[in-house]
């Protein structure tokens, strides 16, 4: 049998019994919509948690603090009697952390507030000193302008997108404010840790000479802070300390011997919990978003499997419906099958005919179902956000149903769903098709109808 003959006969048979074909197609449409929308919700939940990770830091990032410092909202006690053992975060401790298995990168951090000044306008800015050589490994955002520092260029200051927006003229009547433009306005900053020695000129650092801007993202750490290389920071802070009184100079230099924080990057998110425990075993505080988001993501994965299961059940019902339709079709077309065999039609051609019809039902139903899936996805995002956010972990903290697209259909999902619908149709029609090939031609010719 020619392919053209197969197409003509298959399509003619489908449209000859329009009501039955339409009902079977409707079943496949519902099955396709169910599986596409359910999978799209699972993809949307993944995207929501990815955004949560970007907002709260990479899952492989561990924040380390000295004992007695801030550690993600809690303190760690290192002795059985409840007394805290004071453990500082210095170079020796940084070296110990680097030796922990599955630790990829470590960057000590020093955080200081400075006073940026532009003419009559001034503001406050947090300067975070980190190891620029591994800065990119900690998931920092792209730059809006300028370039990342090279290995030999450690004098660059990376500024958050909101760092220079609120400069105030406190001498004006109402505290006039403006956004500083570094291409036009000269900006310098000074450290404010200690009172300046009146006998020495204040040490000022210019921002205009070498800077770059982060992109305007929602991560507040990168939006409102300035980042400097830790070696360069120590260099300029030492120059600042030399302008202080002797007693303050010693305090200032002492303050940068120990670090306020450290970033630790794990090889894999699966290693984060173990690394956190080992760091805490050193007497330090350690915190990672993985500790809170990890269990939430596991629960979300379970919900994704439930959603996918619901879609598969709907598709299974559609497959049963196709099988029933094809079996009924065989009973009604027994004589037709006999005529085909008497005229010399091969057994495999009979099978191909019924498999083609079943596959076409899957294709038509899948195609229509894909179109309606986009409409259903829109409805879920517009009206179902709060409902979905209320049943997934992190509601109200990491997840907010307002304006969240919980149903996201990537380009590959419609293609995969259409192929799956055709496959389901062919599989559902296989047993009826095989049954058709076993019908005796002589017995079929005796059948009335």
CA-to-CA separations, 58 to 327, 337, 400, in angstroms, rounded: 55, 64, 19
Q: Given this model, what pLDDT does residue 143 score?
A: 75
Q: Given this model, what pLDDT does residue 321 score?
A: 84
Q: Which candidate, 426, 250, 227, places its Cα nearest to that of 323?
A: 426
First to last CA, the chain: 24
Q: Given this model, what pLDDT does residue 338 score?
A: 73
Q: Given this model, what pLDDT does residue 194 score?
A: 87
CB neighbours of residue 209 within 10 Å: 10
Q: Given this model, what pLDDT does residue 368 score?
A: 94
d(CA 432, CA 144): 62
Name the residue with tokens 């307002």: 402
The distance from CA 84 to its chain's CA centroid, rounded to whole angstroms, is 37
d(CA 91, CA 251): 18
Q: Given this model, what pLDDT does residue 448 score?
A: 55
**pLDDT per residue of the chain (449 residues) written in tens, 0 to 9:** 677 766 777 777 777 778 888 888 898 898 899 888 888 888 887 777 666 655 555 667 888 999 864 443 334 444 444 455 678 888 899 999 999 999 988 999 999 999 999 988 989 889 999 888 887 777 676 777 777 777 677 788 888 878 888 888 888 877 788 888 888 889 999 998 888 888 888 889 888 878 887 766 555 567 788 889 999 999 999 999 999 988 899 999 988 888 989 999 888 777 888 999 999 999 899 988 776 666 666 776 777 788 778 888 888 888 888 888 888 877 777 777 777 777 677 778 778 888 888 888 889 999 999 999 999 999 888 887 777 766 665 544 445 555 567 888 999 999 999 999 899 888 888 887 787 777 766 665 665 55
Q: Given this model, what pLDDT does residue 79 score?
A: 43
Q: Given this model, what pLDDT does residue 110 score?
A: 92
Going from N- to C-terminal start, the domains of the chain cover: 3-56+295-446, 61-288
> Cβ distance 334 to 447 under 8 Å?
yes
d(CA 395, CA 401): 8
Longest dimension (CA), the chain: 119
d(CA 232, CA 376): 55
The distance from CA 268 to its chain's CA centroid, rounded to whole angstroms, is 16
Task: Please state the pTM of the whole predicted model.
Answer: 0.55
d(CA 421, CA 365): 8
H or E element, residue 189: strand 188-191
Q: Given this model, what pLDDT does residue 275 score?
A: 92
């Amino acid at each position: 049998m020619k392919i053209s003959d197969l197409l003509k006969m298959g399509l003619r048979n489908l449209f000859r019994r329009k009501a039955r074909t339409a009902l079977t197609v409707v079943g496949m449409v519902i099955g396709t919509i169910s599986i596409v929308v359910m999978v799209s919700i699972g993809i949307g939940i993944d995207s929501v948690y990815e955004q949560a990770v970007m907002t709260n830091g990479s899952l492989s990032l561990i924040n380390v603090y000295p004992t007695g410092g801030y550690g993600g909202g809690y303190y760690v006690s290192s002795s059985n009697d409840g007394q805290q053992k004071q453990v500082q975060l210095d170079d020796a401790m940084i070296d110990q952390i680097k030796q922990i298995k599955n630790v990829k990168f470590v960057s000590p951090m020093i955080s200081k507030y400075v006073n940026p000044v532009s003419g009559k306008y001034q503001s406050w800015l947090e300067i975070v000193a980190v190891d620029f050589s591994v800065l990119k490994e900690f998931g920092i955002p792209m730059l809006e302008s300028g370039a990342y520092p090279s290995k030999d260029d450690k004098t660059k200051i990376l500024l958050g997108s909101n760092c220079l927006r609120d400069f105030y003229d406190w001498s004006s009547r109402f505290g006039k404010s403006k956004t500083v433009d570094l291409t036009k306005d000269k900006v310098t900053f000074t450290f404010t840790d200690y009172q300046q020695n009146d006998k020495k000129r204040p040490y000022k650092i210019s921002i205009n000479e070498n800077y770059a801007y982060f992109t305007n993202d929602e991560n507040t750490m990168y939006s409102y802070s300035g980042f400097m290389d830790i070696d360069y920071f120590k260099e300029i802070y030492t120059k600042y300390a030399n302008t202080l009184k002797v007693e303050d100079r010693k305090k200032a230099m002492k303050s940068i011997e120990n670090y306020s924080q450290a970033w630790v990057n794990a090889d894999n998110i699966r290693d984060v919990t173990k690394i956190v425990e080992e760091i805490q075993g050193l007497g330090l505080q350690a915190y990672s978003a993985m500790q809170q988001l990890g269990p939430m993501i596991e629960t979300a994965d379970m919900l994704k499997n439930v959603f996918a299961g619901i879609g598969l059940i709907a598709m299974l019902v559609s497959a049963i419906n196709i099988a029933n339709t094809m079996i009924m079709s065989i009973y009604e077309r027994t004589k037709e099958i006999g005529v085909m065999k008497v005229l010399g039609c091969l057994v495999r051609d009979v099978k191909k005919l019924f498999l083609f019809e079943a596959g076409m039902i899957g294709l038509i139903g899948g195609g229509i179902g894909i179109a309606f899936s986009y409409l259903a996805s829109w409805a879920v995002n517009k009206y179902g956000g709060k409902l979905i956010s209320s049943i997934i972990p992190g509601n109200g903290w990491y997840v907010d149903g307002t304006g969240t697209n919980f149903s996201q259909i990537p380009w590959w999902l419609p293609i995969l769903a259409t192929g799956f619908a055709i496959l389901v149709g062919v599989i559902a029609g296989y047993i009826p098709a095989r049954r058709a090939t076993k019908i005796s031609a002589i017995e079929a010719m005796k059948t009335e109808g």
